[in-house]
């Protein structure tokens, strides 16, 4: 699999992992729900934070 495919797969899997928490936050956002989602899914949040950096670095 090429690097673009891996990045896309990582992003999609991270969003899939957070899907229920994101739905709840869309319906009723609270800072507590955001912190709970971050603490319950640290890997998915880390992937979403680091993914733009990886994409920028690969363009060089």
What pLDDT, on the 0 to 100 scale, is given for residue 22? 95
Give pTM, 2 decimals: 0.85
What pLDDT, on the 0 to 100 scale, is given for residue 2? 85
pLDDT in tens, the chain (60 residues): 788 899 999 999 999 999 999 999 999 999 999 999 999 999 999 999 999 998 888 777
What pLDDT, on the 0 to 100 scale, is given for residue 32? 96
C-alpha triplet 35, 45, 60: angle, nearest 5°:
145
């Amino acid at each position: 699999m090429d690097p673009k495919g891996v990045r896309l797969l990582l992003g999609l899997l991270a969003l899939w992992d957070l899907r229920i928490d994101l739905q709840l936050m869309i319906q009723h956002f609270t800072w507590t729900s955001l912190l709970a989602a971050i603490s319950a899914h640290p890997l998915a949040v880390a992937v979403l934070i680091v993914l733009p950096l990886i994409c920028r670095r690969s363009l060089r």
